[in-house]
Amino acid sequence: MTDAQFHAAMDLYRQGRNDEGGRLLRQAAQAGHAPAMSQLGYQMLSGRGAPLDRVSGVRMIVAAAGKGEAMACTLAAALVAAGVFGKPDWPRALDYLQQGAEAGFPMARAQLRLLAGRTGDDWGILRREIDIESWRAAPHPHMLSRDPRVSAFEGVASPAVCDWIIARARDRLGPARIYDRAGGQAVGSSRSNSAFELGLAELDLVVLALRERLAVAAGLPIMNLNAPQVLHYSLGQTFEPHVDFFDPAIPAQAMNIASSGQRAATALVYLNEEGLEGGETDFPLLSLRHRGRRGDALVFFNLDEAGQPDRRTLHAGLAPTRGEKWLLSQWIRDGDLPGAVDGARGA
């Protein structure tokens, strides 16, 4: 009966009858149906299709992964590598990913191949060939500015990883937002590009491994990283000059600093170059413009040596004059972020 409930629930979702679908999905999940548990866990973790409840979502996903459900194993791999249960545990994460691949989940299989750097379908061998320490190694920086610190890194991401990230975001983009003075996020006239945030429910081991490399490049702990965003600029779209640090003079932003730390650094990974003209990252107060090649990264510090906001880091995302521009954007705080799902650490 639970299998029929699950399939009926998914049919109702496809028809836009979300309330009815949600009731059937919860019934199937409560009865222990692993695919229903996995789907409901994802919905609670993302807030899409169910009220946002990260703690319950994580618990539901881990329980479904314990039953060997393919999607849940793949989601659990990312949760473990993201440090949801404490320090990131990559061996455990890779074990979960291997389980997901062996259970037939395409996303798990694709991630194993990308992390191992080759094709193949012997999931155990691919898992054993993955060297996470090599992913943590950052290339030697090319200093573009010493004060403030701005550095370029060549070959941070392979072409295959760049393509993977673009594919994750391409059909899920929405208007890029800016923080308003009240502390909320809104669409503003200073920004016309689009974006997709890889929140906790959307992270995967490929992106998480790349984030580890970016943290090493910045010399900051992995636990200080915000959720990354994929940015897309069509012809003529731009992000006007702005700073990435929070302004302590604005009460809502001061509260954000107090709760989660200041945005100490920004890392950008350039995901494409073919057919692209323009689209540089411009620092007008430094007389510096830069656009890396595909897979290169730019890391700049938003704070000065005393840890204070550095307004010289004013920068803009210039518009492409030909083609389109794709970036991965990663903010790095100056302190550990609060646990996203602290209540699930014992899961």
Summarised one tens digit per residue, pLDDT across range 160-178 is 999 999 999 999 999 998 8
Summarised one tens digit per residue, pLDDT across range 182-211 is 656 656 788 999 999 999 999 999 999 999
User: 133: part of which helix (H) or strand (E)?
Assistant: helix 132-136
Q: Is the peptide bond before 228 cis (omega within 30 degrees of 0)?
A: no
pLDDT at 337: 63
Q: Cα separation of 100 and 111, whole Å?
A: 10
Using the structure block, give the residue that is written with the tokens 């695919």: 35
Q: Cα separation of 169 and 164, whole Å?
A: 9
pLDDT per residue as tens, the chain (347 positions): 689 999 999 999 999 999 999 999 999 999 999 999 999 999 999 999 999 999 999 999 999 999 999 999 999 999 999 999 999 999 999 999 999 999 999 999 999 999 999 999 999 999 999 999 999 998 999 999 999 999 999 999 999 999 999 999 999 999 998 876 665 665 678 899 999 999 999 999 999 999 999 999 999 999 899 999 999 999 999 999 999 999 999 999 999 899 889 999 999 999 999 999 999 999 999 999 999 999 999 999 999 999 999 999 999 999 999 999 999 999 999 976 655 444 443 33
Contact between 156 and 135 (Cβ < 8 Å): no
pLDDT at 279: 97
List all residues 6 or more positions away from 13 whose beta carbon is below 8 Å from its beta carbon. 21, 49
pLDDT at 347: 37
Summarised one tens digit per residue, pLDDT across range 290-320 is 999 999 999 999 999 999 999 999 999 999 9
List all residues 6 or more positions away from 91 whose beta carbon is below 8 Å from its beta carbon. none
pLDDT at 148: 97
Of the CA atoms within 13 Å of residue 46, those in its CB half-sphere come to: 15
Q: Cα separation of 12 and 22, whole Å?
A: 9
3-state secondary structure of 343: helix
Residue 48 CB neighbours (<10 A): 11
Tokens of 190: 């200073």
pLDDT at 184: 63
pLDDT at 187: 66
Q: Cα separation of 144 and 323, whole Å?
A: 26
List all residues 6 or more positions away from 67 whose beta carbon is below 8 Å from its beta carbon. 32, 34, 37
For Cα atoms 48, 53, 56, give the angle at the middle one, nearest 5 degrees. Answer: 120
List all residues 6 or more positions away from 314 whose beta carbon is below 8 Å from its beta carbon. 241, 242, 243, 283, 284, 285
Contact between 116 and 195 (Cβ < 8 Å): no
pLDDT at 319: 98
Contact between 67 and 91 (Cβ < 8 Å): no
Residue 269 CB neighbours (<10 A): 28
One-letter amino acid for residue 319 of the chain: A
